[in-house]
Structure 1
Amino acid sequence: MSMKSFPKPSDLQVPPGAEGWEELYPYYLVFQDALKAEEDEKFWFCDSQHWPTVFKPFETIGGEFAVKCLGQYNARHLMIPNANGIDFRIHLGYLYMSPLPVPEEQIAARVPEFEARIGHYFANWETLLEQWHVKVKGTISDMEALSFEALPEMVPMEDILSGKAKDGSEVLLENYDRLIQLCYQNWQYHFEFLNLGYIAYLDFFNFCKEVFPNMPDQSIATMVQGVDMELFRPDDELKDLAKLAVELEITDSFSNTDDPAATLATIAASQGGETWLARWEEAKDPWFNFTIGNGFYGHDKYWIEHQEIPLGFIADYIRRLQDGANIMRPTAKLIEEKDRIVSEYRELLDPEIREVFDAKRTLAATAYPYVENHNFYIEHWTMGVFWRKVRELSRMLHAQGLWNEPEDMLYLGRNEVRDVLFDLVTSWGIGAGDPIGNVVWPKEIERRRGIVDALKTARPAPALNTPPEIITEPFTRMLWGITTEQVQQWLGGDEEGETGVLKGMAASPGRVEGPARVVMHADDLSEVQPGEILVAPITAPSWGPIFGKIKATVTDIGGMMSHAAIVCREYGLPAVTGTGSASTTIRTGQMLRVDGTKGTVEILEESPVVSGPGAHSHTHA
């Protein structure tokens, strides 16, 4: 079978107006002419699951820290026998990744190291995980304590008297470096347990496939489900608040949640309002450090700063409660289903194999919740505080005249910001008036804004160059759903493909029919109606409140361990992930048949014309 290929990086057209885009990013993040032969040999896939929009220069920090730290745990900490890290580049504003295999001759030597290292973690899982929480929360509180204040007119007299002999500018410089270091620190912690969660699950997965070659992937996933995950906690808090509002009979206060201040004032003035507000305050910290995006962009909106978002979800839950709907996740049913499947397969095994099966399943079920839970602490809470501090600094520098818009610092790379800070403290320190940057940056930022906007006009290629015959890297398969079959389908190698049928990962079982609702951006979530099928490039954890409304989920990217797959299994909803193109093929209102057991999505009929933001709007954040 001859392999078809994706375009080479150099084959892709630069969108008009984006010429010179490479200069926006550090040299090590772009393809190099001098390395063209080597880089064209590698297969690269676009990670639009985590980075669906074009990077502004400062925003590359999330991609760089995440992929670097993922790699260090594979290649340097855990010594995974067959998988090093993932190489990465930015091309035309989007992030591309290439899994790095371990050379065949090095695999055997890594096995004993790998076993000793994961053995230590799995033997001390609870204690180490407890320490992880302490480390991560410590980093967040250190980050919260940083501030970026404008420098004073003169050094205060007490600094003269105390012999301090410094002008305070060092605090500004140190706090900026510290902010970057603390962000890096929590990204290192992020992967300490994540890779182990995948390893434990994959080990159980491979064992099941060996013992039961025909066992569906979903049955394996079901055997570890029904767990109480912290990532569902923000959504659970909203449900509690909705129930409390119904009990206290203050539901009328939620008629206009778009104005949070007015809504909270109305609640405060009503009888029982004080009880509700106390519960609201309790829920906010930390559970509203939750973004409607994924934490990787400066424009991501966090509940704690945009309280109309959680209030809107609560109002929706109140309506559903008043209609007599059950808004809780069917946890008991999931646990019952899990126990049934586990016992059916266990009974087929000999006693000694059953013992191995039990040990591997228990380990997978223990480690599995972390795959989602870490998300709250890092992508949501850590990055929420990080972006808030970045905005604080950007606004202070904007007030000094360094750029036109309060958040324009995002158009500078993080190392360029260090130069700007030194420029500022120098001009201030010597009494020279404005920093030089005031004549350089406003114009340069406008030029860069034009390039970023031009890059946004083109969709990224799903992959680059020739794919390998077989894709083995575990994270690539489990998280992104980049499998040998999936890549063939993207290339159109799936010749038997029927028209009007999209294929993807069978991510959560069940078969339903219903009208599609295409959601390209979190801002369109309010359009979702009960009984619709959600179709999106990818879903975010904070979309939890709509999972109780919809019938099924279809995404463009994502594997068995993607967020959409895990959440749909926990809500008992069918899901097909990794279809490649559902969000751009399907239109809102079209009737769909989603088969999450087979991994197919059929478009049953053309839709009536639908108007409104969700109809076919490709929203660019």
Structure 2
Amino acid sequence: MTMKSFPKPSDLPVPAGAEGWEEIYPYYLVFQDELKEEEDAKFWFCDSSHWPTVFKPFETIGGEFAVKCLGQYNARHLLIPNANGIEFRVHLGYLYMSPIPVPEDQIAARVPEFEARIGHYFGDWENKLAAWHDKVKGTIADMEQISFDPLPEIVPFEDITNGVGKDGSEILLDNYDRLISLTYQNWQYHFEFLNLGYIAYLDFFNFCKEVFPNIPDLSIATMVQGVDMELFRPDDELKSLALLAVELDLVQHFSRTDDPAATLAAIAAAPGGERWIKQWEEAHEPWFNFTIGNGFYAHDKYWNEHPEIPLGFIADYVSRVQDGAQILRPTQKLIAEKQRIVEEYTELLDDEAAAIFEAKRSLAATAYPYVENHNFYIEHWTMGVFWRKVRELSTMLTEAGVFQDPEDLLYLGRNEVRDVLFDLVTNFGVGAGTPIAAVALPKKIAKRRLIVDALKTARPAPALNTPPEVITEPFTRMLWGITTEQVQSWLGNDEDAEENVLKGMAASPGLVEGHARVVMHADDLSSVQAGEILVAPITAPSWGPIFGKIKATVTDIGGMMSHAAIVCREYDLPAVTGTGSASTTIKTGDLLRVDGTKGTVQILSNMELVSGPGAHSHAHQH
């Protein structure tokens, strides 16, 4: 039976206990009854690659800023001829997106504007990118200066004599507004170069498809790989610290990394420990502004606040070094493979076409590292500072009697928090004592907690409504892997579908067999054993330390330019992305055959059939 459509938003059941969930998000984020016909006519896909868990109300800020700012560069800055931005809604707690096409009759008029604007950047890429770094780091430095101090009991006498005329409450209100606006500022900067990185890659990609009609997508991606990326620096710092620990004979001090204070004290006291501690401390700024999540949730844990995380990764690397493993990324091998493929394809072209090919390839290779590097500066570093400041604010508000628990803040939207601050300064200013929030909000927050927990009991639908005949928006294809073929496969309309075989993107080459380890959340990464195949809704770039242990990666969502695909190619690991349902179909322990060159995952035997201690001996690498 051929399925034509995914469910409509109104067809999806509301999980028990989540009734009225729409009320917890701003009106502009939810589907509207008055627009039902219009919204049902659009195709929406779930971006579970960036937002894999239900939003608490305050957390929608990351989704709103990211998707709005991505869109503005397509539609308003660069005037990409065939792609405007992406509309977005929150449905049942998850983020859904619908790319906005440019009407056919407007495409041609945008071309000269588009070419002039991208030419401005590509003509002076290195200098423009250096200026970008200055802007972004400047914003972060400004964010670091913000503090949320309790209001002063009395206005200091010198404020009276100096004629200040204010009570300090304006500082609290201004700092809150400033934290939000600085975060927004870095999200605007975020896409200035990201969209250009994709454009350069897509231009090269399309040229290759034109001159080599049968070229695999993977070969095109390989021709720009093997570069030194800043996004891998945090992981490289850990490897360097592990190698130094072995060299200085500090190995025995890494047995209890869940107690970081004791671990670091023991290292500091050991011979050579001082040198190790110095390197550890130097790595912190900026490279430990890094989370095992993706920076979009308040619960994401950052290395610089949770030293047990990097210490645990280092301990793991130390034991692998002792076992004789090569922990450094195989950069030389990747570069050699890249050059081989580039030469092979160049030989097929005449001189004129070869010159165009090389010009487009080198531009893509120059712009491509940014596709990953931006992630460190914005999602990790900027958002790490943002969430740390939000925690300072929520702690201050709890101590002032506004909230019962610092987590309560997350169950209010950012504009509702602005009202709470005004409530606090008003009551404080007039000498009335406890803010109204202390009695007006506890019930509302308790109800919202229940709603969020209820929404978490259901997995999101991968898409909504009827997909278009063809999907053209470049980000949708490259980043999320939402291609015409993938969508048909999710609908079960794949002519040559086989039993126990999942199809996805051939994201990183190689063929391996091994046992599955299904990881639904970053907190479960510690369960991953050496030689397993990682299966997840999506992987975060910060899972780098895991990629040295595993044999392959399989994800539910993600295209050729998703983080999972890029990271696996750089770590020389087979990967299949965008399968749609791997994390819910495959069970931990299942024996899999992953073909990253073809984009297939075969379930060879189910967990139930494979038992006994020898089960893992099936795994072998090709």
Identify the residue that residue 384 of structure 2 maps to in structure 1: 384
User: Aligned partners of 2:288, 2:307: CA distance in 1, in Å?
Assistant: 9
Residue segments in structure 2 that go unaligned for 5+ positions in a row: 613-622
1:128 equivalent in structure 2: 128
Structure-to-structure mapping, 1:405-444, within 5 angstroms: 405-444=405-444
Contact 1:535 1:582 (8 Å CA) reproduced: yes
> Which residue of 2 is the match for residue 616 of structure 1?
none
Q: Deviations over 1:565-598 (max 9, x none)?
A: 0011111111000001111111111111000000
Map 1:120-519 onto structure 2 (within 5 A).
Answer: 120-519=120-519
Q: Could you say what secondary structure the match of 2:225 adopts?
A: coil
Amino acid at match of 1:505: M
CA deviation digits over 1:379-421, x for unaligned, max 9?
0000000000001101111112222212210100000011100
Q: Residue in 1 aligned with 2:526?
A: 526
**Residue type of the partner of 2:6?**
F
Per-residue CA deviation, residues 100-152 of structure 1 (Å, 9 max, x unaligned), is 00000100000000000000000010010000000000000100100001112
Alpha-carbon separation, structure 1, partners of 2:436 and 2:254: 50
Please give the alpha-carbon distance, in whole angstroms, between the structure 2 residues aligned to 1:69 and 1:24: 23
Aligned to 1:38: 38
**Aligned-partner residue type, residue 129 of structure 2:** L
- 1:11-48, Cα deviation, whole Å (9 max, x unpaired): 11111111111111111101011111100000000000
Q: How far apart are residue 3 of structure 1 and its match? A: 6.1
- Partners of 1:589 and 1:610 within 8 A in 2: no
- The separation in 2 between residues aligned to 1:120 and 1:244, in whole angstroms, is 45
Q: 1:614 matched to which residue of 2?
A: none
Deviation at 1:495, TM superposition (A): 3.8
Q: SS at the partner of 1:545?
A: helix
* Residue of structure 2 in register with 1:91 after alignment: 91
Measured in 2, the distance between the counterparts of 1:549 and 1:240 equals: 17
Q: Which is further off, 92-101 or 14-23?
A: 14-23
Other-structure match for 1:615: none
Query: What secondary structure is seen at the aligned counterpart in 2 of 1:149?
Result: coil
Report the secondary structure of 1:180's partner residue: helix
Q: Call closer, same or farther: CA 1:148–1:100 in 2, change over 3 Å.
A: same
Aligned to 2:406, what secondary structure does the other structure show? coil
Show the counterpart of 1:110.
110
Q: Distance in 1 between matches of 2:382 and 2:551?
A: 32
Pair 1:577 & 2:577 matched: yes
Other-structure match for 1:590: 590
Q: Distance in 2 between matches of 1:57 and 1:546?
A: 31
SS of the aligned residue for 2:410 comes to: helix
Q: C-alpha offsets along residues 337-378 of structure 1, whole Å, 9 cap, x if unaligned?
A: 000110111111011111100100000000000000000000
Distance 1:578 1:525 in 2: 20
Tell me the distance in 2 between the aligned counterparts of 1:412 and 1:607. 42
Percent of pairs with identical residues:
81
Supply the distance in 2 between the matched residues of 1:482 and 1:172 (Cα, whole angstroms). Answer: 44
SS at match of 2:175: helix
Query: How far did 1:447 drift?
Result: 0.8
Q: State the TM-score, normalizing by the size of structure 1.
A: 0.97
Q: Which residue of 2 aligns with 1:567?
A: 567
Give distance in 2, aligned partners of 1:412 and 1:448.
Answer: 9
Partner letter of residue 474 of structure 2?
P
- Tell me, yes or no, if the aligned pair for 2:398 and 2:405 is still in contact at 8 Å: yes
CA shift for structure 1 position 163:
1.4
Task: Kindly provide the CA deviation profile for residues 532-584 of structure 1, in whole angstroms up to 9, marking residues without a partner as x.
Answer: 11111110111101111111110010000001100111111110000011111
Consecutive aligned runs of 4 or more in structure 1 exceeding 6 Å deviation: none
Contact 1:402 1:442 in 2 (8 A): no
In the alignment, the residues of structure 2 paired with residue 493 and residue 371 of structure 1 have an alpha-carbon distance, to the nearest angstrom, of 32
CA distance in structure 2 between the aligned counterparts of 1:561 and 1:368, rounded to whole angstroms = 10
Partner of 2:48: 48
- 8 Å CA contact 2:2, 2:492 repeated in 1: no
Counterpart of 1:545 in structure 2 is: 545
Counterparts of 2:333 and 2:459 in 1: how far apart (Å)? Answer: 41
Using the alignment, how far apart are the partners of 2:213 and 2:20 within structure 1? 52
- Cα distance, 1:179–1:202 mapped onto 2, change above 3 Å: same
**Is the partner of 1:240 in helix, strand or coil?**
helix
Distance 2:146 2:407 in 1: 18
Shift of 1:2: 7.2
**1: distance between equivalents of 2:281 and 2:507?**
36
Deviation at 1:155, TM superposition (A): 0.9
Equivalent-residue separation in structure 1 for 2:597 and 2:489 (angstroms): 18
Residue deviations 1:241-293 (CA, integer Å, cap 9, x gap) = 00111111111111100011111111111111111110000001110110111
Partner SS, residue 4 of structure 2: coil
Shift of 1:496: 2.6
Question: Which residue number corresponds to residue 19 of structure 1?
Answer: 19
Instruction: Measure how far apart 1:606 and its partner are.
Output: 1.9
- CA–CA distance in structure 1, aligned partners of residues 28 and 171 of structure 2: 30
Q: Calculate the aligned-residue CA RMSD, in Å.
A: 1.1
Q: CA deviation at 1:522?
A: 1.1
Q: Is the contact made by 1:140 and 1:382 (CA closer than 8 Å) also made in structure 2? A: yes
Paired residue type of 1:596: G
SS in 2 for 1:14: coil
Where structure 1 has 5 or more consecutive residues not aligned to the other structure, the ranges are: 612-621
CA separation in 2, counterparts of 1:156 and 1:207? 68
Q: Letter of the aligned partner of 2:563 in structure 1?
A: H
Distance 1:567 1:212 in 2: 26
Letter matched to residue 244 of structure 2: L
Aligned residues: 611
Which region of structure 1 is more displaced relative to structure 2, 316-325 or 492-501? Answer: 492-501
8 A contact 1:556–1:579 mirrored in 2: yes
TM-superposition CA deviations, 1:429-475 (whole Å, max 9, x none): 00011111110112211011011111111111110000001001110
Q: Aligned to 1:407, what secondary structure does the other structure show?
A: helix
2:351 maps to a residue whose letter is P
Residue of structure 1 in register with 2:74 after alignment: 74
2: CA distance between counterparts of 1:113 and 1:606?
A: 55
Return the letter of the residue paired with 2:147.
Answer: S
- Give, in whole Å, the separation in 1 of the partners of 2:611 and 2:437: 49
Give me the TM-score of the superposition, normalised by structure 2. 0.97
SS at match of 2:602: strand
Question: 1: CA distance between counterparts of 2:243 and 2:91?
Answer: 48
Deviations 1:158-179, CA, capped at 9 Å, x for gaps: 2112211111100000000000
